Amino acid sequence: MNVQDRRRLLGPAAAKPMAFSNTTIHTLENKSTSALPKNSECEQELSLHTGFIENCNGSALVESRDAKHQTSLITAVYGPRSIRGSFTSQGTISIQLKNGLLEKYNTNELKEVSSFLMGIFNSVVNLSRYPKSGIDIFVYLTYDKELQNKCLDDESQSKQIFSQISSLIPHCITSITLALVDAGIELVDMAAAGEVCGTVVSFIKNGEEIVGFWKDNGDNEDLSGCLDRCKEQYIRHRDLMISCLMKQKNLNI
């Protein structure tokens, strides 16, 4: 009795298995770049890493250290993801800034900075390309420490520690920009920022357009001078991001 196996599709009786030549696969565990830009104020060491978190669409790590401050930020981007409900002609962005192990900043401060960052990236991301979609961005403050300054007393040190959230904003912008590029999300331009005495200015288009302005104190300082110094920092951060992305592209090739 001839019984035919109908549970699966069988190939021809004379079929031969396919043979492939041996290939070498290069695994890129980490893609990073670092630089030591110098200015008249201080030397800042900035290290950038991308693509090291597997369960998100894009990720970035920014580590910064200078004579006064040391910080580390991790950003994860999820999306674009479809939104249930009514149709929207363009995508939406949500940004959440979270403390690390040390609860250094209170919730209101973090929400205020998150709202400021959302205003920037609503202008930078080409949201018209992502209708009925949401992009969720999480920024984790993994390490943040003010280095001791012997010229200040204990009370001044305490006030300085809790008033330096503005110094984190440029690194948040750099980290989010890199993570969005790593996720393949279309941007109008690469955003970056600079910070001078509590004033943060974010630029695009080679410093010709301002997309964010943050002032953390009431000092009557020279605004034009702050803009020039913030633009110098913007150019350094932007060039470093481009160097990081070009290095990543060359490694992938």
Model pLDDT for residues 187-228, shown as the tens digit of each residue: 999 999 999 988 999 999 999 999 999 987 666 567 888 999
According to the model, what pLDDT value does residue 129 have?
94
According to the model, what pLDDT value does residue 182 have?
95
Domain annotation covers residue 15: no
According to the model, what pLDDT value does residue 139 have?
96
Provide the pLDDT confidence category of residue 52 given band limits of 50, 70 and 90: confident
The CATH number for 74's domain is 3.30.230.70
Domain annotation covers residue 33: no
Q: For residues 149 and 63, give the distance between their C-alpha atoms in angstroms, rounded to a whole number.
A: 21
User: Taking each helix axis from N to C terminus, what angle separates 107-124 and 169-182, rounded to the nearest 10 degrees?
Assistant: 50
Domain annotation covers residue 23: no
Residue with more model confidence, 103 or 105: 105
Domain annotation covers residue 22: no
Domain that holds residue 49: 40-252
Domain annotation covers residue 62: yes
Q: Is the pTM of this model over 0.85?
A: no
Lowest mean pLDDT among 37-46, 58-67, 154-163, 194-203: 154-163
Domain annotation covers residue 60: yes
Residue 152 has pLDDT above 80, yes or no: no
Lowest mean pLDDT among 20-34, 42-56, 101-115: 20-34
Q: How many domains does the chain have?
A: 1
Q: Which of 252, 243, 195 is nearest to 44 (CA)?
A: 195
Q: In what order do the strands lie in the sheet with 199-204?
A: 192-196, 199-204, 209-215
Domain annotation covers residue 30: no
Q: For residues 2 and 25, give the distance between their C-alpha atoms in angstroms, rounded to a whole number.
A: 47
Distance of CA 110 to the CA centre of its chain: 16
Domain annotation covers residue 24: no
